Structure 1
Amino acid sequence: MATTTLKSTPEPIVVTDKCLIRPYALSDVEPLAEAANLPEIVAYMRNTFPHPYTIESSKFWVDFAMNADPMVNFIICTPDGTPAGGIGLTPRKDVDYRNWELGYWVAKDHWGKGIATSAAKAFSLWAFKQFPDLLRLEAGVFGDNTASMKVLSRVGYTAEGVKRHAICKNGKVMDLVIFGLLRAEVEGLD
């Protein structure tokens, strides 16, 4: 007798009117590779974000995210469950261990729909609730990535400063704009 395997998708950690954020699943490998394998996506990502973004790259990332403890990297989906990007945190160590970095990206097909703003706001609130010792979230934005700067400003992050000529991507030297959001700034906003 043959058995069927049900395709299970993890429950979302956050649901908004524009998106849901949930843990990665093995079924995300192919759509993630397709969405992330564009020069427009990698242009504002660190060099650790591979390009080309292959199926192997995607398998590695999904496995890494699914097995992390604590789990801090998630997939952004449209309300109907279509993969639309990624969002996560990078915990810091040493004296700034209570200051974590926020990172996110949204697939090109979903740009201009408010998904990044909705995801960044809801996820930031989730992070402060989930990690009680967290005092602050920080995001570094490449100097000419005005879309991401607008997202963070809409969410309530403050542009705190510019690290001049701090990064080099594909031979282009750019500023890095630092945005921060404090726990005290979001308490009671949910």
Structure 2
Amino acid sequence: MEEKKKEVCITLRPFELTDLSDVMAWVADDRVAQWCRLDAFHSREDAQSFLESSLIAHPWARPICLSGRPIGQMTFKQGSDIERCRGEIGYALAYEHWGKGIATEALKMAVNAIFCGFPEIQRIDAVVIDWNVGSQKVLEKAGFVKEGLLRKYRLKKGETLDMFVYSILAS
């Protein structure tokens, strides 16, 4: 007898203060933070400050929700002036949800929402640490194309990291 595959409902919506407990699941996890710009937040107060000042206040930050509960985040920042035709996307997902296709589906949803909601955007970039193979696979499965290596591009804990740049273009 064939088992039915369990349906998952992935959504994106604005962040809310009531998301704090769920947000703690990934912002306090060193396994997730190793790939992000910021280090893990180990106090509830620091996580709340991050939620309020960096996610709720962000022009386009969305929790990746599974059946209505936040399990990760997606952010997009549009370029300005002569770079307003492009922007950069970033994401993080709670460790327990890695490898299940959730980040890929959420990224596809975000790309669609951005291209529909920002008519000037013709290109979305994503940069990923050169040894973050999992995130590279997410980007490629979502339709992004690897364009090249940005050497000594970003600092993390005092170390200068090489990053791959990926992009997807509006059709």
Same fold (TM over 0.5): yes
Which stretch has the larger CA shift, 86-95 or 151-160?
Answer: 86-95
Q: CA deviation at 1:156?
A: 0.7
Q: CA deviation at 1:114?
A: 0.7
Match of 1:85 among 72, 90, 103: 72
- Preserved CA contact (<8 Å) 1:121 1:155: yes
Query: Deviations for 1:115-155, whole angstroms, at most 9, x for unmatched residues?
Result: 10000011101100011111110000000001111011111
> Aligned residues, how many?
164
- Preserved CA contact (<8 Å) 2:32 2:94: yes
Equivalent residue letter for 2:56: M
Distance 2:15 2:83 in 1: 28
Q: CA deviation at 1:38?
A: 1.2
Distance 1:166 1:85 in 2: 25
Structure-2 residue corresponding to 1:57? 46
Match of 2:10 among 14, 19, 24: 19
Q: CA deviation at 1:92?
A: 1.7
RMSD: 1.9
- Preserved CA contact (<8 Å) 2:30 2:39: no
User: Unpaired runs of 5+ in structure 2?
Assistant: 1-6
- Preserved CA contact (<8 Å) 2:25 2:94: no
Task: Kindly indicate whether residue 151 of structure 2 is the aligned counterpart of residue 160 of structure 1.
Answer: no
Match of 2:163 among 165, 169, 176: 176
User: Unpaired runs of 5+ in structure 1?
Assistant: 1-15, 185-190
Distance 1:90 1:168 in 2: 19
Q: CA deviation at 1:24?
A: 0.9
Structure-1 residue corresponding to 2:35? 44
Structure 1 residues 131, 17: closer, same or farther in 2, change over 3 A?
Answer: farther
Query: Deviations for 1:23-49, whole angstroms, at most 9, x for unmatched residues?
Result: 111111122123221111111111xx2
Task: Kindly indicate whether residue 134 of structure 2 is the aligned counterpart of residue 147 of structure 1.
Answer: yes
Query: Deviations for 1:63-102, whole angstroms, at most 9, x for unmatched residues?
Result: 233344xx30011111x22221000101222321221100
Equivalent residue letter for 2:63: I
Which stretch has the larger CA shift, 29-38 or 109-118?
Answer: 29-38
Q: TM-score of the superposition, structure 2-length normalised? A: 0.87
Which stretch has the larger CA shift, 34-43 or 133-142?
Answer: 34-43
